[in-house]
Copies of this chain bind each other. A is one copy, B any other.
Amino acid sequence: MTAKTQTLAFNARPKLTAGASIVGKREGNGPLGRYFDKVIDDPKMGKDTFEKCESAMLSEAVAVAASKAGMDIFDIGVLLAGDLLNQLVSSAYAARSMPVPYFGLYAACSTMTEALALGAALVNAGHFESAACATCSHFAAAERQYRYPLEYGCQRPPYAQWTVTAAGCSILRSEGDGPALTHATIGRVVDYGITDINNMGAAMAPAAFDTLLAVFDDTGTCADDYDAIFTGDLGRLGGEIMRDLCRERGVELGQRYSDCGEMIFSREQNCYSGGSGAGCSACVLNSYILGKMYKREYNRVLILATGALMSPTTSFQGESIPAVSHAVILENDL
């Protein structure tokens, strides 16, 4: 480690022993539907409000992941969670029913990898034997907080993305089966001056690119060293921008690169440029990606979740959109 690295190396190789994903109906009907643990048909899960549903999804994702890891919720060493709702209320109200130490984190749609990075650091150092890392988002709750209530029936531009209704949770443990979380690369905040809040992909792609270069520099790896590379939720347009930025720097991502936002919905689902939201990379990682690692179809994977850090207030005040991308490397023991 040099003084200026962005990368944490976890020599004790904490293991991602279990992952869980709970998604909404639209996500369940998408191309990855069969990989998710649970699809909820009712967009409120029987609760009064979308926000309470989002929090309940997060609670359930943690409970399912703990159960898959052979643990009771009470056995979890520490919970690291965050979400898109103001004051991270989905996470706080979910944490209220879990008597475990709780860290609230916010990296917008890059919260899953921020949680994994810090969870791995805590488990790697022996501070906790296990860490639950979780995040979520809900289409209807996000729309009314960030844009307009659904009842307004607003039109969207074709490059807009669709906030995923999903929660994901990973259980990291000091011992156990599953891929090791070997490195985490912590993003810097990058702002290319995008002001269109419908164009998140363009705002976030430079952050993913900045972190990708840091991963390569800090770990001495290149694209060919990974079986697969995923960004979080750049969507179709943002994914193209990411490929272009890489190509300009001589990095050819090729077929090994996919974006979780592109993967989660088919074009026929009319979700414009694809999925977004903190739950997007969280549910794809904790279902499809982790499944392929458990089956050893992938042995080394790089995941760069991507977050746009503006708020409606900063947009009203004329600010551009800063973005961040935190990366984690997962590696099967050979």
Residue positions of A touching B, CB distance < 8 A: 1, 3-4, 6, 8-9, 48-49, 51-52, 75, 77-78, 82, 84-89, 92-93, 95-96, 98-108, 114, 118, 121-122, 124-127, 129, 145, 186-191, 309-314, 317, 319, 322, 324
Contacts and interface: CB of A to CB of B under 8 A. Distances in A.
A241 B324 CA distance: 41
B125 A309 contact: no
Contacts of A48: 317
A85 B313 contact: yes
28 contacts: A1-B127, A3-B129, A8-B122, A51-B317, A84-B87, A87-B106, A88-B309, A89-B310, A89-B314, A92-B309, A92-B310, A93-B309, A93-B314, A93-B319, A95-B322, A96-B322, A98-B189, A100-B188, A101-B186, A102-B186, A102-B189, A102-B324, A103-B118, A103-B186, A104-B114, A105-B105, A121-B121, A121-B127
A97 to B, nearest CB: 8
Copies in the complex: 2
Q: Nearest 4 pairs between A and B by C-beta?
A: A101-B186, A92-B309, A87-B311, A104-B106
A125 B48 CA distance: 44
A1 B322 contact: no
B189 A317 contact: no
Nearest to A104: B106
